[in-house]
């Protein structure tokens, strides 16, 4: 695991966008796994500007998002589709047919999750997976537990995740209790992983990544077993 420490969030965001752009520019047809949340907003802003400046081209990029809340329509302003559209899709030359997010309102979630995994496999797998990390160590919505699930699956969110995400909603009661997420297997199969860690509330989970112990109680530690992970972290989150 390679770690690069930045003085602040702005610098981290520029470096994250440059990392993603450089990977896209290396390969004509690129499969890109993407997160939502507060952390990647700066990266998306920089990627949008780089796209407008002709420094990165999304025409042949296919995106696969990590997760989505269950029960929120795309038009809901807290759905991850809405977030992605606002922060990236509407700002860059991604083709609408190349955008993938698990559908959290599908009638048959079992079929939805299987189809999502099949599409990733059929496309040749993820070239790069960009990740954030929950204050509890979750990646995607793979929550701390005594076991981890490999494929895309539905999940009941932990209270700590509901509390952490309440800042985006009117109240914690409005945060959906369930989500659909890529599993740890999907993430581990990505050829390359870029993890973004920012803010003092991530210090404890970031520290655990330095300790070399892999445990489902801190799902991000699974990444210690992946051969190509780069962590971009700001000083506030670094120990």
Summarize as ranges the residues that interact with ligand F6R (CB under 6 A).
Answer: 35-39, 66-67, 132-134, 138-140
For 36-88, the DSSP string reads -SSTTHHHHHHHHHHHHTTS---TTEEEEESEEETT--TTSTTSHHHHHHHHT
Angle made by CA atoms 42, 47, 52, in degrees to the nearest 5:
130
Among residues 23, 67, 68, 127, the one annotated as catalytic is 67
* Residue 212: Cβ within 10 Å count: 9
Residue 73 annotated as catalytic: no
Asked about 136 being catalytic, the answer comes back as yes
Nearer to ligand F6R, 35 or 104 (CB): 35
Token pair, residue 82, equals: 């809405």
Is 138 considered catalytic here?
A: yes
Catalytic option among 112, 127, 143, 234: 143
How far apart are the C-alpha atoms of 209 and 205, rounded to whole Å? Answer: 7
Residue 61 or 104 with smaller CB distance to ligand F6R: 104
Q: Which of 87, 138, 142, 165 is catalytic?
A: 138
Residue 23 or residue 67: which is nearer to ligand F6R going by CB? Answer: 67
Q: Nearest approach, Cβ of 74 to ligand F6R (angstroms)?
A: 15
226 among known catalytic residues: no
């Amino acid at each position: 695991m390679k770690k690069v420490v930045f003085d602040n969030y702005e610098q981290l965001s520029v470096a994250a966008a440059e990392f993603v752009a450089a990977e896209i520019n290396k390969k004509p047809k690129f499969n890109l796994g993407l997160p939502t949340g507060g952390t990647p907003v700066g990266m998306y802003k920089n990627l949008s500007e780089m796209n407008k400046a002709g420094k990165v081209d999304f025409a042949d990029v296919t995106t696969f998002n990590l997760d989505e809340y269950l029960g929120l329509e795309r038009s809901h302003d807290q759905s991850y589709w809405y977030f992605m559209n606002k922060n990236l899709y509407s700002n860059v030359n991604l083709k609408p047919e190349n955008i993938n997010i698990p559908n959290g309102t599908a009638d048959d979630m079992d079929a939805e999750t299987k189809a999502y995994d099949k599409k990733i496999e059929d496309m040749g797998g993820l070239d790069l997976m960009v990740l954030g990390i929950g204050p509890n160590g979750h990646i995607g919505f793979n929550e701390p537990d005594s076991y981890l699930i490999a494929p895309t699956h539905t999940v009941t969110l932990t209270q700590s995740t509901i509390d952490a995400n309440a800042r985006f909603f009117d109240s914690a009661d409005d945060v959906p209790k369930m989500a659909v997420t890529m599993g740890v297997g999907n993430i581990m199969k990505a050829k390359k992983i870029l993890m973004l860690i920012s803010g003092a509330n991530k210090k404890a989970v970031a520290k655990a990544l330095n300790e070399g112990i892999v445990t489902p109680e801190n799902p991000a530690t699974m990444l210690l077993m992946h051969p190509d992970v780069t962590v971009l972290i700001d000083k506030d989150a670094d120990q």
